[in-house]
């Protein structure tokens, strides 16, 4: 068995130091479980704060965010999916997810391809779509594919990741909604979120892990939380509520490997 720690944060808008401290506290608290993989949310270090993200981007190695998490990975002997940061290369900004191994070394880097530019989203106005190949990282316990948030609506990406051998696919997320929505529309949105998680896991025969932001983001937006770990049969093994927190779950990668031998979805177009 292998273990995943899924962290769900309600970040302090624009306060990287405080948000990194929050993440570090959860990592230390749950280190007793000796997780093989820790997953953090999209934008966890800044929240949905356009000013900070645009004016205080990280460098091509992930800056202070990845530096801090690299030290934690080494200290607690774990692999970490570092949520996402706004990364600057030349004059362009990218929404980038870094993966570090137990030695604290960057072993994977994915730039979000499908930017949130619908339903009032403005990510595309300051961020460039990713220009790196799809990312599957060979960690010491599993092959981990990387996606970010709105990618979840584009199954072709996941088809590529499973063809590349992914056994776990992670999706750091900031699934946000307007506070002004009716309760019915909020419930429908949450159902959509859960359904997408289940579909991506079951169709790809992987453990699908979404680490989401939670709670109020600003005066008009909130994030639904409900971070999930779903197994390759589409069974939800872990789901959090709408508040900040974390959940540790043991997973059975033998199930993934047996299913991939008997149901060859990676080879069927």
Stronger pLDDT, 262 or 78, i.e. the higher one? 78
Alpha-carbon gap, residue 16 to 67, rounded angstroms: 13
pLDDT per residue over 141-192, tens digit each?
999 999 999 999 999 999 999 999 999 999 999 998 888 889 998 898 899 9
- Please compute the mean of the pLDDT values over residues 2-20 and round it to a whole number: 97
Residues 220 and 180: beta-carbon distance below 8 Å: yes
Burial-class residue 89 by CB neighbours within 10 Å (0-12, 13-18, 19+).
Answer: middle
Please give the C-alpha separations between residue 134 and each of 63, 164, 172, 174, in angstroms, as whole numbers. Answer: 22, 9, 15, 20
- Please compute the mean of the pLDDT values over residues 72-88 and round it to a whole number: 98
Residues 158 and 147: beta-carbon distance below 8 Å: yes
Cα angle 68, 74, 79 (rounded to 5 degrees) comes to 90
Alpha-carbon gap, residue 238 to 25, rounded angstroms: 21
pLDDT over 70 percentage in the chain: 96
Output 258-263 pairs: Cβ under 8 A, ≥24 positions apart.
Answer: 259/205, 259/232, 259/233, 260/167, 260/205, 263/205
Domains contained in the chain, CATH given: 2-267 (3.60.110.10)
- Please compute the mean of the pLDDT values over residues 251-265 and round it to a whole number: 92
Query: 7 is written with which tokens?
Result: 């962290």
> 26-30, 85-89, 235-239, 259-263 — which is least confidently predicted?
259-263
């Amino acid at each position: 068995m292998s273990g995943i720690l899924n962290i769900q944060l309600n970040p302090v808008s624009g306060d990287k130091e405080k948000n990194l401290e929050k993440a570090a506290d959860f990592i230390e608290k749950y280190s007793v479980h000796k997780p093989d993989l820790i997953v953090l949310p999209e934008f966890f270090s800044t929240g949905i704060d356009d000013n900070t993200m645009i004016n205080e981007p990280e460098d091509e190695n992930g800056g202070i965010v990845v530096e801090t998490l690299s030290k934690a990975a080494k200290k607690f002997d774990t692999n970490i999916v570092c949520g996402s940061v706004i990364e600057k290369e030349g004059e362009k900004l990218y929404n980038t997810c870094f993966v570090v191994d137990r030695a604290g070394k960057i072993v994977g880097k994915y730039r979000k391809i499908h930017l949130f530019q619908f339903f009032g989203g403005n990510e595309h106005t300051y961020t460039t779509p990713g220009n790196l190949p799809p990312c599957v990282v060979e960690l010491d316990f599993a092959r981990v594919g990387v996606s970010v948030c709105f990618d979840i609506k584009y199954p072709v990406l996941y088809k590529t990741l499973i063809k590349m051998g992914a056994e776990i696919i992670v999706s750091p997320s900031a699934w946000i909604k307007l506070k002004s929505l009716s309760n019915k529309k909020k419930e429908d949105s949450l159902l959509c979120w859960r359904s997408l998680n289940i579909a991506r896991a079951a169709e790809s025969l992987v453990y699908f892990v979404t680490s989401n932001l939670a709670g109020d983001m600003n005066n008009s937006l909130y994030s639904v939380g409900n971070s999930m770990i779903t197994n390759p049969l589409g069974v939800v093994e872990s789901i959090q509520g709408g508040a900040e927190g974390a959940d540790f779950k043991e997973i059975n990668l033998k199930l993934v490997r047996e299913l991939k031998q008997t149901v060859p979805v990676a080879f069927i177009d």
